[in-house]
Amino acid sequence: MKNIILFIAFTGLVLSINAQNTLKLKTIETNYGKMDGSSFYRIGKLDGAIINVDTLSVLIPVLSVVNISNDTFSSDVRCEITIDFLLYDDRDSLLADRERAVSRREPLSPYQDFFPNNIIVDFGFMSFPLLEMIDALKEEENIDLEQISYWKIISGVSYTSKDGTYSDNVFYEGADTSIFYVVRGNVGIQEIEQNSNVFSVYPNPTNGQLRIMNYGLQNENIEIFDIAGKMVKTYNSPINNTIDISELQTGMYFITTYSKGQKITKKFVKQ
132 and 223, same domain (yes or no): no
Largest CA distance in the chain: 87
Separation of alpha carbons 138 and 11, rounded Å: 50
| Residues 158 and 206 occupy one common structural domain | no
CATH number of 70's domain = 2.60.40.10
> Total structural domains in the chain?
2
DSSP string, 70-93: S--B-TT-EEEEEEEEEEE-TTS-
Cis peptide before 61 (omega within 30 of 0): no
| pLDDT confidence of residue 226 | 79
- Output the tens digit of pLDDT for each of the chain's 271 residues: 545 444 444 444 444 444 445 678 899 999 888 887 777 888 888 887 888 888 888 888 889 999 998 889 998 899 898 999 899 887 778 898 888 777 888 888 877 899 999 998 888 878 888 888 888 888 888 988 888 888 899 999 999 998 899 988 888 889 999 888 888 765 444 433 444 445 677 777 788 888 876 654 555 678 888 776 778 888 776 656 778 888 888 877 888 776 655 667 777 888 7
Q: How many CB atoms lie within 10 A of CB 196?
A: 12
DSSP character for 10?
Answer: H
Regarding whether 245 and 214 lie in a shared domain, the answer is yes
Q: What is the predicted pLDDT for the residue at 205?
A: 77
pLDDT of residue 253: 81
Domain-located, residue 10: no
- CA 219 to chain CA centroid, nearest Å: 30
Q: Is 193 within a domain?
A: no
The answer to whether residue 13 sits within a structural domain is: no
Burial class for 240, CB neighbours closer than 10 Å (0-12, 13-18, 19+): exposed
pLDDT of residue 145: 85
Per the domain annotation, does 191 fall within a domain? no
Claim to verify: residue 235 and residue 265 sit in the same structural domain: yes
Residue 14 lies in a domain: no
Distance of alpha carbon 255 from alpha carbon 222, whole angstroms: 7
Determine the structural domain holding residue 230 and report its residue range. 199-270
Helix (H) or strand (E) holding 172: helix 168-174
- In this structure, are 91 and 174 located in the same domain? yes
Which amino acid is it at 130? Answer: L
pLDDT at residue 259, as a whole number: 61
DSSP E strands in 37-118: the ranges are 39-45, 50-52, 58-67, 78-88, 94-107
Q: Tell me, what's the pLDDT at 10?
A: 41
pLDDT of residue 66: 93
Q: Are residues 98 and 227 in the same domain?
A: no
CATH number at 253 reads 2.60.40.1930
Stated pTM of the model: 0.64
Question: Kindly report the CA angle at 171 between 166 and 176, in degrees rounded to 5?
Answer: 150
Q: Is residue 231 part of a domain?
A: yes
Q: Does residue 178 share a domain with residue 93?
A: yes
5, part of any domain: no
Mention every residue, 6+ apart, whose C-beta is less than 8 A from residue 170. Answer: 21, 22, 23
